[in-house]
């Protein structure tokens, strides 16, 4: 504990950061050290330490004493105390009426909680020549509009346009770019920026809330693209929404809005990306890995108490906010009800991170989620990605690379804890998430990266060029994304293909071939491999209705397809019809699309 205090007194920020990371895994020690730091006036470091330890209300108080009112208010809002957050910002404004950034933060907070009149008063404190004026206008427009002051909102929009449009700042929104210019708003208020991720059941689009000014993630569900799947898809969405509403937890991605007619949910934007990307970019210090695992276990522990199972814990579902705090996302596979009467896993979950009982089709339990956290933690410590066929292939009793062989400073004790969390027999695992946390915290974990062994992240090299880009060649020579286990098609990236990809992403209909990602490094656009064969018969009623809806979605998004023929429509008895992507510009108009569909339907 003394190491942090000595480092702070010596002014060695690097050493202090390492010490803080180590202390952050022990809340008791963190609080004691933070108390001593506060007594010596080191409020900034006390705040960092408390925040790392998950003591968010205490951290908020320390940030306020450190003069970081906006950070303090942000934490208080996360803790469900928006009124206290507003008071912190108001107190700062009384001390410094020229703190225009604080006025913007206060106005944005008030607007998020429907206090539009108070928000307008706070935002109007920012003078026209202040650098923060653009941030203020971004929020002011929405507040004025909701108050019915359309003329004032129009004047504010004109002023914002004159200043260069939406800002890119902590309190505002990024500027409009070519990728967003002219694109249709989702649900009348969310401006699409880019597609972030995609799966067979949903796609996530980064957006700007043009009314509130904040960045959000809009998750558009498309799980009913096969006959009979609609009821299951709706049930999964309802589970995710209900889970997020019940789980108002600082370690869970917050729910902003639900649209049943989308169907879609709007989530708070996580600025620092997903654990999946962090694992690909370099090694993670063991202390940081434990900090992440403990945050996930905290969220799951409270979820389990409410009868909610996640059932799909994996790096892609662990996100980070602007402060680097880990949050759990995607409770779409969650099961609500009595945790002792669990649902069968079915298709839910990702096999590499799935517990043995889930892979065998047996009921999932709280210990199934603990298994998945153990697999993720072991991957953070060793760099070994779990085998797509399941943990039995890569996490057997004698793993190829125990954590103690990946990092100096780890030993048999650390191996034993991970082995217990990932035990094949569920009864051998910790009884609940809080027992798992206690086991992890009972051991010291190095705060620095000190790798050893040929299998570590630092020394791991792809066995082929395709493996380095997540892709492998399947038995039929198709490309397979080993992260999502789905077939991939790729088209060269150009201005034309990018514009077409944006059109498909914004239209967002499940009958359209999915655009998965833009791989600028390789100069490729990834598409989901389409199931089926070229249509060689008259369309069935459901297929025709799906294609009509997909074409209407493209038109509503401001474009046309232009290539509706037997080469671009495939049908499958289970998946239904799919309208394929085409990189070429459309040589027709909307009427041409409808005429082409009519010709196709005639066989």
Same domain, 290 and 412: yes
Digit-coded pLDDT (tens) for 466-516: 444 456 666 666 777 665 567 888 888 888 888 888 888 777 777 888 887
First to last CA, the chain: 77
Same domain, 573 and 491: yes
- Residue length, the chain? 603
pLDDT of residue 462: 39
Domain count within the chain: 4
593/272 Cα distance (integer angstroms): 41
Digit-coded pLDDT (tens) for 282-316: 678 899 999 999 999 999 998 898 888 888 899 98
Residue 460 lies in a domain: no
Same domain, 297 and 256: no
Same domain, 256 and 290: no
Residue 173 lies in a domain: no
Q: Strand locations in 296-353, DSSP E?
A: 318-320, 326-328
Residue 342 lies in a domain: yes
Same domain, 350 and 398: yes
pLDDT of residue 42: 76
Whether the bond into 172 is cis, omega within 30 of 0: no
Residue 454 lies in a domain: no
Same domain, 499 and 381: no
Same domain, 584 and 512: yes
Same domain, 25 and 157: yes
What is the DSSP code (8-state) at residue 352? G
Residue 231 has pLDDT above 80, yes or no: no
pLDDT of residue 248: 75
**Residue 410: closest CA among 437, 374, 385, 447:** 447
**Residue 470: closest CA among 459, 460, 483:** 483
**Residue 455: closest CA among 381, 398, 391, 353:** 381
Residue 503 lies in a domain: yes
Residue 175 lies in a domain: no
pLDDT of residue 224: 44
Same domain, 67 and 51: yes
CATH code of the domain containing 529: 1.10.510.10
CATH code of the domain containing 203: 3.30.200.20
Q: Each residue of 291-330: b (16+ CB within 10 Å) or e? A: bbbbbbbbbbbbbbeebbbbbbbbbbbbbbbeeebbbbbb
Same domain, 412 and 542: no
Backbone angles phi, psi at 265, to 5 degrees: -125, 150
Residue 172 lies in a domain: no
pLDDT of residue 62: 85
408/301 Cα distance (integer angstroms): 30
Domain boundary among 122, 146, 162: 162
Same domain, 402 and 331: yes
3-state secondary structure of 462: coil
CATH code of the domain containing 156: 1.25.40.10
Per the structure, the complete domain to which residue 106 belongs is given by: 2-162
Residue 455 lies in a domain: no
Same domain, 354 and 263: no
Lowest-pLDDT choice from 69-78, 448-457, 471-480: 448-457
3-state secondary structure 15-62: HHHHHHHHHCCCHHHHHHHHHHHHHCCCHHHHHHHHHHCCCHHHHHHH
């Amino acid at each position: 504990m003394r190491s942090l205090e000595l480092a702070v007194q010596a002014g060695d920020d690097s050493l202090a950061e390492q010490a803080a990371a180590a202390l952050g895994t022990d809340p008791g020690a963190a609080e004691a050290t933070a108390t001593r730091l506060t007594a010596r006036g080191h409020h900034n470091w006390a705040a960092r330490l408390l925040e790392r330890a998950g003591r968010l209300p205490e951290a908020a108080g320390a940030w306020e004493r450190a003069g970081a009112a906006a950070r303090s208010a942000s934490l208080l809002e996360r803790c469900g105390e928006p009124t206290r957050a507003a008071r912190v910002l108001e107190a700062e404004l009384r001390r410094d009426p020229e703190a225009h950034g604080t006025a913007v933060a206060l106005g944005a907070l008030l607007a998020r909680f429907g206090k539009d009149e108070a928000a307008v008063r706070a935002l109007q404190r920012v003078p026209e020549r202040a650098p923060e004026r653009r941030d203020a206008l971004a929020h002011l427009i929405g507040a004025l509009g909701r108050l019915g002051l359309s003329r004032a909102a129009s004047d504010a929009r004109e002023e914002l346009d004159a200043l260069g449009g939406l800002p890119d700042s902590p309190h505002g929104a990024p500027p409009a770019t070519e990728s967003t210019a002219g694109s249709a708003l989702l649900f009348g208020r969310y401006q699409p920026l880019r597609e972030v991720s995609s799966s067979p059941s949903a796609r996530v689009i980064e957006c700007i809330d043009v009314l509130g000014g904040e960045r959000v993630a809009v998750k558009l569900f498309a799980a009913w693209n096969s006959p009979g799947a609609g009821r299951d898809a709706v049930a999964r969405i309802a589970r995710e929404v209900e889970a997020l509403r019940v789980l108002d937890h600082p370690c869970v991605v917050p729910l902003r809005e639900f649209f049943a007619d989308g169907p879609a949910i709007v989530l708070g934007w996580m600025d620092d990306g997903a654990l999946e990307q962090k694992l690909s970019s370099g090694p993670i210090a063991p202390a940081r890995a434990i900090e992440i695992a403990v945050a996930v276990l905290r969220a799951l522990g409270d979820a389990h108490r409410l009868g909610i199972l996640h059932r799909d814990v994996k790096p892609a579902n662990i996100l980070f906010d602007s402060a680097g705090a880990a949050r759990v996302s995607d409770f779409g596979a969650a099961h609500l009800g009595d945790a002792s009467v669990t649902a069968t896993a079915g298709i839910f979950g990702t096999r590499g991170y799935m517990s043995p009982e889930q892979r065998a089709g047996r009921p999932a339990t709280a210990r199934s989620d603990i298994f998945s956290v153990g697999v993720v933690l072991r991957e953070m410590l060793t760099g070994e990605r779990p085998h797509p066929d399941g943990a039995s292939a890569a996490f057997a009793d004698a793993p190829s690379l125990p954590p103690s062989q990946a990092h100096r400073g780890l030993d048999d004790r650390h191996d034993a804890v991970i082995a217990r969390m990932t035990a094949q027999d569920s009864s051998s695992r910790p009884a609940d998430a809080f027992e798992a946390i206690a086991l992890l915290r009972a051991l010291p974990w190095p705060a620095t990266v000190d790798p050893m062994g040929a299998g570590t992240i630092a020394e791991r090299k792809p066995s082929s060029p395709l493996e380095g880009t997540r892709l492998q060649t399947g038995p039929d020579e198709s490309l397979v994304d080993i992260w999502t286990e789905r077939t991939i098609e790729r088209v060269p990236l150009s201005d034309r293909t990018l514009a077409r990809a944006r059109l498909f992403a914004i239209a967002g209909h499940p009958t359209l071939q999915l655009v998965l990602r833009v791989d600028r490094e390789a100069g490729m656009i990834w598409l989901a491999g389409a199931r089926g064969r070229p249509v060689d018969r008259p369309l069935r009623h459901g297929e025709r209705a799906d294609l009509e809806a997909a074409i209407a979605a493209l038109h509503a998004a401001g474009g046309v397809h232009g290539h509706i023929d037997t080469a671009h429509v495939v049908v499958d008895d289970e998946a239904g019809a799919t309208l394929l992507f085409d990189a070429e510009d459309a040589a027709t108009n909307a009427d041409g699309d409808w005429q082409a569909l009519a010709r196709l339907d005639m066989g």
